[in-house]
Amino acid sequence: MVPTHILCHYGEIGTKGKNRRQFERKLKDNMKAGLKAACPGSYVEIRTVRGRIVIELTEIGRESLDCMKEVLRNTFGLVYFAPATRMEQKKEILEEAALEFVNTLPGESFRITTRRSDPNIPLSTQKMNEEIGAAVVEKFGKTVDLTQPDVNCHIDLVEDSAFVYAHRIDGFGGLPVGMGGKVLSMISGGIDSPVATWQMMKRGAFINYLHFHSVPYTSDASIKKVHDIIRIFQKHQLRTTLFLAELAPIQEEVIEKCHEKYRIILYRRFMFRIAEALAKREGAHAVITGESLGQVASQTIENMETIEAVTSMPILRPLVGMDKQEIVNRSKEIGTYDISILPDEDCCAYFLPKQPATKATVEQLQKAEENLDVEALVEGALDSLHKKVIES
Ligand code: ATP
Ligand code: MG
Domains of the chain, first to last: 5-170 (3.30.2130.30), 182-391 (3.40.50.620)
**Residue 289 CA, ligand 1 centroid: distance in Å:** 7
CB-ligand 1 contact for 191 (6 Å cutoff): yes
pLDDT in tens, 137-163: 999 999 999 999 999 999 999 999 999
Query: Which of 16-30, 168-182, 340-354 holds the top average pLDDT?
Result: 168-182
Q: 68-101 pLDDT, tens per residue?
A: 999 999 999 999 999 999 999 999 999 999 999 9
Residue 275 reports pLDDT greater than 80 = yes
Using the atom order of ligand 1, give the atom closest to the CA of residue 347. Answer: 27
Burial level of 327, CB count in 10 A (0-12/13-18/19+)?
buried
Ligand nearest to C-alpha 271 = 1
What is the pLDDT, as a whole number, of residue 354?
81
- 193 alpha carbon to ligand 2 midpoint, in Å? 8
Among protein residues, the one whose CA lies closest to atom 9 of ligand 1:
291
- Stretch 212-220: mean pLDDT, rounded? 92
> From residue 271, how far is each of 2, 265, 282 by CA, in Å?
54, 10, 16
pLDDT value of residue 362: 94
pLDDT in tens, 368-379: 999 999 999 999
Kind of pairing, strands 182-186 and 206-213? parallel
Residue 83 β-bridge partners: 6
Across the range 307-327, mean pLDDT stands at: 97
Query: How many angstroms is it from 228 CA to the middle of ligand 2?
Result: 16
Beta carbon of 293 within 6 Å of any ligand 1 atom: no
CB of residue 199 inside a 6 A radius of ligand 1:
no
Residue with CA closest to ligand 1 atom 17: 290
Q: Is the pLDDT of residue 230 over 90?
A: yes
pTM: 0.94
Burial, 224: exposed, middle or buried (Cβ in 10 Å; 0-12, 13-18, 19+)?
A: middle
Task: Kindly indicate the confidence band of residue 12, based on its pLDDT and cuts at 50, 70 and 90.
Answer: low
Nearest residue CA, atom 18 of ligand 1? 290
Q: Which atom of ligand 1 is nearest to the CA of 292?
A: 6
The mean-pLDDT minimum among 14-23, 156-165, 278-287, 289-298 falls in 14-23
Ligand nearest to the CA of 195: 1
* Concatenated DSSP letters of 273-313: HHHHHHHHHTT---EE----TTSSGGGSHHHHHHHHTT--S
Does ligand 1 come within 6 angstroms of the Cβ of 251?
no
Judged against a pLDDT cut of 60, whether residue 14 lies above it is answered with: no
Task: Point out the ligand 1 atom lying closest to the alpha carbon of residue 268.
Answer: 16
- Measure the CA–CA gap between 41 and 37, rounded to whole angstroms: 10
* Confidence category of residue 13, pLDDT binned at 50, 70, 90: low
Candidate from 186, 250, 287, 292 with most ligand 1 atoms within 8 A of CB, to mutate: 186
Closest ligand by atom to 267 CA: 1
- CA atoms within a 13 Å half-sphere pointing along the CA-CB vector of 60: 11
DSSP 27-43: HHHHHHHHHHHHSTT-E
